[in-house]
Amino acid sequence: MNIFPLNKYSHIFPDPKFACDEGILAYGGDLDPNRIITAYRNGIFPWYNENDPILWWSPNPRLILELNEFKVSKTLQKSINKNIFEVKFDTNFTQVMIECQKIKRNKQNKTWINNEVIKAYTKIHKMGFAHSFEAYLDGELVGGGYGIVIGDIFCGESMFSKVNDSSKVALYHLVQRLKKKNFRLIDCQIPTTHLKSLGAKTINRENFLNIIHSASYSLVTF
């Protein structure tokens, strides 16, 4: 297995086809916003533990959610119909990341979302490429997530939920928004049982890379 070192002064990445199926492709570099955007445009994303070198991934298979295949369960539909959550977009991006940072996953104390990552993605948000979807209950942010837009593809990064169904309702409204804006799909990156239950499916890396390289940038805005 080859893991390629990145040049700190160049944003060029190795071909993601060289990555093992687990997905580790390269290490090093930095979290310069332009490097991160270049990575996403090539089907690559950063994911690493704090105090470790930055690792860059392109897993095989890849999890995607076709917008028309999003599954709304009876329970979720009831939550949507109750209309108890106020859903907003891009009103509290950094706080969404902070809430995602707090979520414990797989018995770990915190996610890979460290302060350096929050700072970098907040810059990307200000550049217009990163976006958040948010659910509020009585004025309090209780669920949502964030991701990066590459043409007509929304690359989902992380979600959090403080109240039952809050993140799912926010995701539902994100899907509806993306449909209206002529987006193609959501990249969910790593396969999970939760996302598969919502309609996400796996495709092989080569197919995903073909999709990301053919992303349409014409007349598509979030």
pTM of the model: 0.95
Q: How many CB atoms lie within 10 A of CB 139?
A: 7
Q: Specify the pLDDT at position 103.
A: 86
Q: Specify the pLDDT at position 8.
A: 85
Q: Which residue in 106, 108, 128, 130 sits closest to 118, CA to CA?
A: 130
CA distance 148 to 166: 21
CA 13 vs CA 5, 6, 109, 168, 211: distances in Å? 9, 7, 31, 34, 18
Q: Specify the pLDDT at position 105.
A: 61
pLDDT digit string (tens) for the chain, length 222 residues: 689 999 988 999 999 999 999 999 999 999 999 999 999 999 999 999 988 999 999 999 999 999 999 999 999 999 999 999 999 999 999 999 999 999 876 555 557 899 999 999 999 999 999 999 999 999 999 999 999 999 999 999 999 999 999 999 999 999 999 999 999 999 999 999 999 999 999 999 999 999 999 999 887 789
Q: Which residue in 18, 80, 79, 9 sits closest to 43, CA to CA?
A: 18
CA distance 125 to 1: 34
Cβ neighbours for 167, distance < 8 A, ≥ 6 positions apart? 135, 143, 144, 145, 159, 160, 161
Q: Specify the pLDDT at position 24.
A: 96
CA distance 108 to 130: 26
**What six digits make up the tokens of 38?**
């270049």
Q: How many CB atoms lie within 10 A of CB 206?
A: 13
Domains of the chain (ranges; CATH) run 4-60 (3.30.70.3550), 63-213 (3.40.630.70)
